Structure 1
């Protein structure tokens, strides 16, 4: 068994970002993870020419990658190949594609002007004493915006952030820590459908009554779209101020028209 800590180079590509569900605090995604590590057993000095099509890859070391914040068991498929350097040293290349739903704690204090992180936590099934994650120094993480499904509600940035850390994954054994590479992209909500055009000032009395009734229905719709949170969002603060303003405005208009 390989006794030295393995250095695994990780590269992540967001192939597709699906629906962003703020109520369930999840998002759908199709993610490709590319991992590379040294495999001395396959060096040209240690083995004959390798037939990669018929090789049983399960007999070689593998970091056993998975996405820690996935909901359930995402669909996945993998492929392997070996690359050789000029000195005959072998590097194992594994591509794993995950397609599923992933958890994300939504930041809704500034709703509907909120900016959401969409994160995948790449983790190994082995402890950090055996595996070390390193980002690919030759290629940055990538994201394809063209296939973003929620384009009408969110704007997806090309920006990608990442960080490496260690986490305690197994509560039964608190001394075992695992390497994690967190890769996140960002999406900003398009607020225009939540903003009323206040420049149209005709028929203010009728409009004030309509807005009061709309506020009631709007609150119901919003509660179906957001998780049950204990803090006030920007939208809720504005809505409550608008309700008080519309009530006052309606009363003044009614007095001016002599409505009892």
Structure 2
């Protein structure tokens, strides 16, 4: 029996700690001893604290604080000591119109600000520590990765193809760079920053898209920040909508009592040193369940929720050992088994029970003629085989046996055993002088097979019920974790991402729920966990309030 995997299984890979990503702010920084902008477009920077060779090899960008040429610069080369850096910029301009300032909160986006115009015009093309312009100390640091908050809207799911292992859906994706710039910075400056890092719509893709129907609608926008209106701006790198066919590894061994997780996996072809993904809990992903096209076949377990799952790729999959951010958006569906129960399981069960009619008697303690018994058994067996062929088109065409296949196969085996018994047992009784003993023995065999088959039917029902309850418990846990994340975002909208993580982890521990993995591993397929039932919103709010009251000094905004 195939092992059940987590409903999200496309992009999640090797674990990476987001605190490690945030610490890139402090990986390396140094005061600038001097710099020179050369006519070839290169910037030569002399730094006080030498840069480690491994950072130069990892294609890092640096930015300046307290003056300098502004913008971001790629470190293309360092001398043997690491104190003289040769840098280049994609714009090839001697000076940028914007400066980069550190994130307002660790782990969030850097902030672009307009350059302060010097009284005598543009900054100088060169600077040394003993010069008088600019008077302030200039420093440089490694550019931290940009943070993109992702969400999706699933407008509809039209079809699930069990043969091709695909589903068709209409979806919208959004990548938002929060608080990326001050309100007076034009959109062109943000685009310039992203272009410098080679971040654009062409490097964003859906990993498991098999085909796209029609045109892909895409656009970007630049709007005031939701939580810092009037001071900061949010930039939407990508708003993308299309109808497509998505590949999905469907798990059909419990069919027709199966639960499927339909996943759309979004990724960006830039390393995590440049950009990382997070789930947008302020504006969560949604599924327009009222438009669900195949609601007569499936029940939406997650209702209007779409479960996000952030991951990073395995560095072994990259020729240069890079990690890439990705995020899975999953909708969990449960098949409605009524059609298969009434049209497959019930008829096959009835045919199997009818096979026991061949054990009928013509008179008191007198068996039916062997020819009549075999005729009944063979007729019912051939009927079951013909019925199996008739319904084959409605069953999944896969290489392994589903629960329904096992049930039909075992029922057919019972019918074959009954047929063989009707042919062989009378021959064995010829050598027995006492017909009463032979009759009693056959009745014992008949009732034994009857009880065993009935026990198998009852056992199948119990196993399917137990498996269904276990899957429901797992799904309840996933939905409960998701709802707690949304609750923390709704009740504490100004809290930063790091503080929200602490809040949610605290509440999960208080409510005895499994700990939420914020970034997942590819090999993490264990979906077992305690039954959680429905989460009490009031209890969760009380735990959140208690945590905020106790840790109010450490809540970043």
For normalisation by structure 1, the TM-score amounts to 0.78
Whole-angstrom distance in 1 between the partners of 2:337 and 2:419: 27
- For structure 2, the residue ranges without an aligned partner over 5 or more in a row are 1-70, 73-142, 355-375, 425-557
Is 1:153 matched up with 2:302?
A: no
Whole-angstrom distance in 2 between the partners of 1:150 and 1:250: 42
> Where do 1:111-150 residues align within 5 Å?
111-150=255-294
Q: Deviations over 1:42-81 (max 9, x none)?
A: 633344xx7xxxx899656245322111114564212222
CA contact (8 A) 1:63 1:131 kept: no
Match of 1:69 in 2: 208
CA contact (8 A) 2:212 2:242 kept: no
Whole-angstrom distance in 1 between the partners of 2:295 and 2:421: 42
Please identify the structure whose Cα radius of gyration is greater: 2
Higher normalized contact order (CA 8 Å, seq sep 6+, divided by chain length): 1
Is the alpha carbon distance of 1:213 and 1:66 closer, same or farther for their aligned partners in structure 2, counting shifts above 3 Å? same
Whole-angstrom distance in 2 between the partners of 1:240 and 1:101: 34
Whole-angstrom distance in 2 between the partners of 1:193 and 1:208: 23
Whole-angstrom distance in 2 between the partners of 1:139 and 1:76: 23
Whole-angstrom distance in 2 between the partners of 1:171 and 1:97: 28
Counterpart of 2:319 in 1: which secondary structure?
coil
Shift of 1:189: 1.6
Q: Deviations over 1:191-218 (max 9, x none)?
A: 22222436979x9467665333212443
The total of aligned residue pairs comes to 243
Instruction: Name which of structure 1's ranges 69-78 and 231-240 shifts more when overlaid on structure 2.
Output: 69-78
Match of 1:15 in 2: 155
Match of 1:88 in 2: 231
Name the structure where helix makes up a greater proportion of residues. 2
| Residue in structure 1 matching 2:323, options 157, 167, 177 | 177
- For structure 1, the residue ranges without an aligned partner over 5 or more in a row are 256-260
- Following TM superposition, the consecutive aligned residue runs of length 4 or more in structure 1 with deviations greater than 3 angstroms are 1-4, 42-47, 55-60, 72-75, 168-172, 196-201, 203-209, 246-255
Match of 1:258 in 2: none
Q: Give RMSD over aligned pairs.
A: 3.3
Counterpart of 1:236 in 2: which secondary structure?
helix
CA contact (8 A) 2:256 2:337 kept: yes
Name the structure where strand makes up a greater proportion of residues. 1
